[in-house]
Structure 1
Amino acid sequence: MSVSARLSLLSPRRQEIIRPAFEHPREFVLSSVRALAERLNTDPATTVRIVRGMQFGSYREFQHYLHELSIAHATSLDTMQTGSARGFTIPTQARASVDLDLKNLESLIHSLNPRQIADLARRLYTAKRIVLIGGDLAANLVTFLEHHLIMLGLPVSSATSPAEVVHKVRLLGKKDLVIAVSYGRGLRQTVEGLRQARANGVYCVGITNTLISPINQFAHECFLTSVNTPSFGASYVAPMALLNVIVVACANYKRSRTLTLLKKVEEEQRHGFRWYES
């Protein structure tokens, strides 16, 4: 449930009391009920009633929601400042970056469902049209996946600009499939494209980093991959690993077909004009 939906369950007065926690979740996520009440200028009993009024089963569930919200709303400045906590030396930060990439990969490994990947490969092969949606930095992920699915002969195209998203999604229907990739709060063009695809009856797959992302809200199924980094950007180690898994699944779903296609590809890779020869 979105923040606005949860707030709408409260009276205007209680909305104003709890609003600071949603606007600055990183500042409140570790607060106890008593500490939160003190910062919000109210009492613990009222705080608990507000939390329950927003349909959280417990205060711990509310804290988890704030944690997810802090991930979704993290800015480049937030991640840079957090990453500097262990020291400013280059060797320290370099090691911290690798360690966090490994942690992101481990999280993917533990959460990945092989059967879900196999089902997605089947859907990709039966779809009439496949559109991959992503913008800004995520456009690189979309382009990577598009390149490999084209090599497998699948009817895929990418939409990485607002105009492409609008016009390509408009033509889709129940026999088609969309994969939308966006992290944090969600890029408007990607979320709106996914929402419209869902409204058109398209089977929608999301790739994001938090359950409260609007990508998860509009997708039929969603894959979570962490992009945590000790620097100002986003680490795409885990997302790239997920895309590699999808490509491997698709390549082996119809293995004999793939090998036939790759025999034709091999000729171009050995003798094509694209490749430099000394």
Structure 2
Amino acid sequence: MILGVATMGWRNVENNLGSLPPAQRKIAEYMLKNKLESIFLTALQLGKNAGSSEASVIRMASNLGFSSFPDFIKSLQEEAKDQLSTLGRLQTHKLQPQTGGLIARVINSDLEQAKESLSTVDDETIKKLAAKICASDAIYIVGLRSTRTLAVYMEYYLSWFFTNVQLPTTDTMGNHLVAAPHNSIVIGISYPRYTRQTVECITLAKKRKFFTAAITDSPFSPLAKAADMCIVSPCAHIAHIDSLLIPIGLINTLLIQVAEQLGPKALKRLEELERNWTDSSVYC
């Protein structure tokens, strides 16, 4: 049995069940009884399984406020992916139609979500966060579990230009904040299912009057609510994996903006680094 299928989409169905015409209500009741299986059926399959018709399925999606049946089903799928356990995600992945090559399926999943995210990217917020980073005396980046990779990546490139970039753990976060310069920034990174300890770290930093920022998938996420500002990009879930392609693209944008705001200082530092790498024979 798979637990944790999303409730928001289903609540919409439940709340509107009584107002649907009989044929559409029959479909909705079938979906509520077969939540996991139904979100991977076509309109034709769903109508047939529910003892109704494809046309009634499409009209039901419209009556529930969606522009099309695919939009309706996709919303349920995405919500389910956000809340399922890793086991549930893998089981759900096996239920989906498998078309195309292995590599193409994985990459296309990321590309589809990346295209959708372009309309939600806020350039001004990224510029503001870059300015805050440049003006800070110390930078603390908190990323746990899979997002630790994003935190390490971000720390690596920021360390080219700043001498005080830290990657605290939950065990050392309090120690870091006690010793941190007053003009420090604490950046938390977390995606569904949201690591509780990351939210706690940001909450602690804000309580101690440090400026806090979140990199997350929604302005309504627990991390975003705890921070002073947030930049948003979705995180795709492919089977049991958190695919971080889109978040790392956002972080790349932020890192480039930091260098642009540093201006001549960034160019000078890169020249120094290049000389050091050459003298040290870093590259073959």
TM-score range, shorter chain: 0.7 to 0.9
Aligned to 1:237: 245
| Matching residue of 2:13 | 31
- Listed one character per residue, the Cα deviations across residues 189-209 of structure 1 (whole Å, up to 9, x for unaligned) are 211100101111111111112
Give the conservation status (yes or no) of the 8 Å contact 1:165–1:189. Answer: no
RMSD of aligned alpha carbons: 3.3
Letter in 1 for 2:263: R
Verify: 1:132 aligned to 2:141, yes or no: yes
TM-score, normalised to structure 2, is 0.71
| C-alpha distance after superposition, 1:107-145 (max 9, x if no partner) | 332212222111111111111211000111111100111
Once residues 159 and 111 of structure 2 are traced to their aligned partners in structure 1, the CA distance between those partners, rounded to angstroms, is 30
1:70 positional shift: 4.2
- Contact 1:183 1:209 survives alignment (8 Å): yes
Which of residues 174, 181, 187 is equivalent to 2:189?
181
Check the 8 A contact 1:173/1:200 in 2, yes or no: no
- AA of the residue aligned to 2:156: H
CA contact (8 A) 2:5 2:84 kept: no
CA distance in 2: counterparts of 1:223 and 1:188, whole angstroms: 19
Tell me the distance in 2 between the aligned counterparts of 1:107 and 1:25.
Answer: 21
- Aligned 1:218-229 pairs, distance under 5 A: 218-229=226-237
Question: Using the alignment, how far apart are the partners of 1:122 and 1:252 within structure 2?
Answer: 10
Secondary structure at the aligned position of 1:183 is classed as coil
Q: Deviations over 1:129-183 (max 9, x none)?
A: 1100011111110011111111012531112x32122322344475211110011
CA distance in 1, matches of 2:93, 2:185: 38
* In the alignment, structure 1 residue 251 sits paired with structure 2 residue 259: yes
Q: What is aligned with 2:156?
A: 147
The aligned length equals 234
Any idea what SS the aligned residue of 1:191 has? helix
Deviations 1:51-81 (Å, cap 9, x if unpaired)? xxxxxxxx97xx9x99886454232233323
Quickly say closer, same or farther: Cα 1:69–1:212, change in 2 above 3 A: farther
Identity %: 18
Where 1:163 maps in the other structure, the secondary structure is coil
User: What is the correspondence of 1:93-172 to structure 2 with a 5 Å cutoff?
Assistant: 93-153=102-162, 155-159=164-168, 161-172=169-180
Inter-partner Cα distance in structure 2 for 1:212 and 1:182:
12
Query: What CA distance in whole angstroms lies between the structure 2 residues aligned with 1:88 and 1:66?
Result: 19
Q: Are the equivalent residues in 1 in contact too, given 2:122–2:231 (CA < 8 A)? A: no
TM-score scaled to structure 1, two decimals? 0.72
